[in-house]
Amino acid sequence: MPLLQNGRPKYLKTPIRRSIVGIVLAATSWAHLLYAQQGGTTSGTAGGTSAPAAPLAPVAAEEKAPVRPALPTVGNVPTTTGQGTTAEGVLPGLGTLPKASPFALPTSTPEEKKERSFFNRQGTGASSLFGTPQDTTGQPETTGTPSDTSGPRVLDSPTTFSTSGFYGSGGVSLTTGSGRLAKPREKWSFTAGMGFDDNTQQAPTDGGGTDDVVFRQVIPAQPEISQTVSRQVFSGYRPGQINGSFIPTFRTETQKVIIRPFQPEREFVQTFPGIPDRLRESSVITSLDAAYQAQWAKGKKAFTMDARAGVDYYWNRDTDPLEYEGSLSLLYIRRVSSRLQLSTALSGSHSTQPDYNRINAAADSSGSVASSLASSKTDISYRWSRHFSTVTSLTADVRFQEQAQGSGASGLGSFMSYGIGNEFRYLWSPRLTYVTELRHSTTKYLDSDNGNATISLLAGADWDLTRRLRVTTRLGEAIRTFQPTGTESSSPYGELSLAYQPTRRDSYTFSSRYGFEESSLPGAQQLVFRNSLNFQHLFSPKLTAGAAITRVTYETKAVGSSGAGSSQEVVDGSLNLRYFYSRKVKLGASYSYSNSSTSLGLTDYYKNRVFFTGEYEF
């Protein structure tokens, strides 16, 4: 079949087809031309023959952007391909097309295809603690620029630091140049706020008071108990019949002996004072806070720190109108080698207001307890092979509680705890890691001889379902031995954390935990079920909003008791709005609502709190 018709190919017999083919050819030629300008080839001779690109040349780490080629100066106008100079060398010529077209399909060897396969799981991945995977070829990312006569330039790829978080929370991931590590190295901020609280002491809805208890005891009259006793009494002498002797004489007398005297009727009255009603106290609050933030990453080390100290002034209080609060958190990660990583995390807080988001925080809802809680966790991560790694953790927790506002009592429910745990991690794929974990902890109460020892065996996974969704799960059993009685108790244990970012403007985080926690009563065991959901939305670069809701259920009973005990349920929600007025000035508004209900109904309460703040950074 002839392919030509009137000297032209048959597929060009119409003007439309000829126009389409012409556009395609023009676009292809223009792409080849651009590719040649970007350093795909360099023309090294005046005759226009192309030469292959020069080998890679290292670039200093502080180089941030390629240097643009300078235009030829007057008197140095290029006449042939390859002439003309730039700031760094010869301007690539445009006379010849490169040998390798950008439209050509890349060729790969079977070994390269195998290395790029998803099922060929590498030693690092999104769900690994040793960072994100590098290029399969093992070479750094490169690019070419018109001014690079020596070849493509090496680009610095971001480094990711990952570590497991505190027990009951998700892992932490830091990437250089983004997120937390994109902020300034350090900054200070000062915040002033004014707000209103309609129940500053978490007073019960019905007052929570009880009447005095009067105990009366009546002892009836007791009769006299006596006994008659006879005895001989000396009465004198009488003459005897022999030799004029005298003989003593005695007479018999009876006597009444009282064993128990008569006792009249008696009545004893003892009064036990009741609990007075706690009326709802509302107050306007003025708050002043100072905060410090630091973050940096250098080489194989990364560090973050947040510190805050503040004071709240309650205008409607006659005594002790000041309440002090503070918090501190820091994280340090160091990669000793490609197999070994060390990390240390510390978190602490002091507050007189209940914080239902912290594990082992006091469940007291009276508002009269000031609680200080600190936790630390050190992880030693070691990768034994491409798929198998272990994480050994050392933990320490301390809680100190004291009665606020001059009540005098202190130390109630204070404890110290330390433990050790070990994770066995198997990297199934770059997105999925299976985990088996063993934990052991020992707790000692500071105000009594009570304590406990807990051992937990867990299994779970760290799963990156997509780039936007990450899930961490742990399920197992916990066995706790209480001291000094030696009583044992077991309970299921579970942890779940989820992070989801559907869009660049929205993000969700969810955490859930069920298991043993330390009670404010040393002789009691407490099971707690925590659920928390947080949402953040970015309306614009200057306006953000957030919402959070937390539900906590406490089940408390005496050690060794088979009864139901007591229970408490708390629902806490908050809304916040933040406006970035300038780079240094931020304005904020927040509202929170708390509701607590108990099985006994004596300490049920609710409260509302609203605040307006202004923050200045320097």
Please write the tens of the pLDDT for every residue from 425-450: 999 999 999 999 999 999 999 888 88
Query: Does the structure show a pLDDT above 60 at 143?
Result: no
Q: What is the DSSP letter of 53?
A: P
Give the pLDDT confidence score for residue 548 in this predicted structure: 97
Query: Does the structure show a pLDDT above 60 at 159?
Result: yes
Question: How many residues appear in the chain?
Answer: 618
% residues pLDDT > 70 (the chain): 70
Residue type, 559: V
Nearest CA among 565, 491, 498, 559 for reference residue 529: 491
| Residue in the block written with tokens 């009836």 | 220
Is the pLDDT higher at 292 or at 467?
292
Q: Are strands 160-163 and 488-500 parallel, antiparallel or unpaired?
A: unpaired
Mean pLDDT of the chain: 77
Choose the weakest-confidence range: 117-126, 329-338, 473-482, 544-553: 117-126
Same domain, 367 and 480: yes
Q: Count CB-CB contacts under 10 A for residue 82.
A: 20
pLDDT interval class at 208 (50, 70, 90): low
pLDDT interval class at 395 (50, 70, 90): very high
pLDDT interval class at 88 (50, 70, 90): very low
Same domain, 405 and 499: yes
Helix (H, G, I), strand (E, B) or coil at 21: helix
Same domain, 217 and 327: no
Q: What is the distance, to the nearest Å, from the Cα of residue 108 to the centroid of all Cα atoms in its chain?
A: 45
Same domain, 540 and 599: yes
Copy the structure tokens of residue 315: 């205008």
Choose the weakest-confidence range: 141-145, 164-168, 203-207, 446-450: 141-145
Is the pLDDT higher at 261 or at 138?
261
How far apart CA 102 and CA 29 sit, in angstroms, is 11
pLDDT interval class at 130 (50, 70, 90): low
Half-sphere exposure at residue 401, Cβ-oriented, CA atoms within 13 angstroms:
24
Helices (H), 38-148: 110-116
Q: How many domains does the chain have?
A: 3
Sequence-distant (≥ 6) Cβ neighbours of residue 474 within 8 angstroms:
435, 437, 458, 459, 460, 493, 494, 495, 496
DSSP H or E stretch at residue 67: none
Query: Does the structure show a pLDDT above 60 at 121?
Result: no
pLDDT interval class at 73 (50, 70, 90): very low
pLDDT interval class at 451 (50, 70, 90): very high
Planar angle of CA 119, 121, 127, nearest 5 degrees: 115
How far apart CA 433 and CA 381 sit, in angstroms, is 14
Give the pLDDT confidence score for residue 122 in this predicted structure: 45
SS3 content of the chain, % helix, strand, coil (to 5): 5, 55, 40
Give the pLDDT confidence score for residue 210 in this predicted structure: 67
How far apart CA 196 and CA 609 sit, in angstroms, is 6
Same domain, 174 and 267: no
Contact 445, 453 (CB under 8 A): no
Give the pLDDT confidence score for residue 201 in this predicted structure: 83
Query: Does the structure show a pLDDT above 90 at 163?
Result: no
Half-sphere exposure at residue 182, Cβ-oriented, CA atoms within 13 angstroms:
5
Helix (H, G, I), strand (E, B) or coil at 110: helix
Give the pLDDT confidence score for residue 318 in this predicted structure: 84
In a domain? residue 102: no
The mean pLDDT of 503-511, rounded to a whole number, is: 94
Nearest CA among 167, 170, 159 for reference residue 507: 170
Same domain, 488 and 567: yes
Contact 394, 378 (CB under 8 A): yes
Cα R_g (the chain), whole angstroms = 42
| Residue in the block written with tokens 């807080």 | 349
Q: What is the pLDDT of residues 514-559, one digit of tens each?
A: 999 998 888 789 999 999 999 999 999 999 999 999 999 999 888 8
Same domain, 190 and 218: no
Is the pLDDT higher at 320 or at 272?
320
In a domain? residue 47: no
In a domain? residue 73: no
- The residue range of the domain holding 463 is 162-209+275-617
- Encode burial over 562-575: b for 16+ CB neighbours within 10 A, e otherwise: eeebeebbbbbebb
Residue type, 89: G
The mean pLDDT of 67-96, rounded to a whole number, is: 37
In a domain? residue 155: no
Instruction: Provide the CATH number for the domain around residue 598.
Output: 2.40.160
pTM: 0.66
Same domain, 269 and 316: no
Which residues lie across from 391 on neighbouring strands? Answer: 381, 423
Give the pLDDT confidence score for residue 157 in this predicted structure: 74
Phi, psi of 235 (to 5 degrees): -120, -15
How far apart CA 397 and CA 418 sit, in angstroms, is 6
Query: Does the structure show a pLDDT above 60 at 102?
Result: no
Same domain, 259 and 375: no
In a domain? residue 93: no
Give the pLDDT confidence score for residue 406 in this predicted structure: 41
pLDDT interval class at 586 (50, 70, 90): very high
The segment with the largest mean pLDDT, out of 52-61, 97-106, 589-598, is 589-598
Nearest CA among 166, 610, 531 for reference residue 347: 166
Half-sphere exposure at residue 418, Cβ-oriented, CA atoms within 13 angstroms:
2
- Encode burial over 402-428: b for 16+ CB neighbours within 10 A, e otherwise: bbbeeeeeeebbbbebebebebebebe
The mean pLDDT of 295-316, rounded to a whole number, is: 95
How far apart CA 269 and CA 291 sit, in angstroms, is 58
Nearest CA among 565, 552, 570 for reference residue 600: 565
Query: Does the structure show a pLDDT above 60 at 464?
Result: yes
Half-sphere exposure at residue 525, Cβ-oriented, CA atoms within 13 angstroms:
25
In a domain? residue 149: no
Same domain, 267 and 405: no
Is the pLDDT higher at 486 or at 80?
486
In a domain? residue 153: no
How far apart CA 415 and CA 400 sit, in angstroms, is 7
Same domain, 201 and 218: no
Query: Does the structure show a pLDDT above 60 at 226?
Result: yes
Q: What is the distance, to the nearest Å, from the Cα of residue 539 to the centroid of all Cα atoms in its chain?
A: 26
Same domain, 197 and 217: no
Nearest CA among 617, 609, 607, 618 for reference residue 205: 607
In a domain? residue 143: no
pLDDT interval class at 401 (50, 70, 90): confident
pLDDT interval class at 509 (50, 70, 90): very high
Query: Does the structure show a pLDDT above 80 at 502?
Result: yes
The three state secondary structure string of 482-503 is EECCCCEEEEEEEEEEEEECCC
Give the pLDDT confidence score for residue 42 in this predicted structure: 37
Contact 214, 330 (CB under 8 A): no
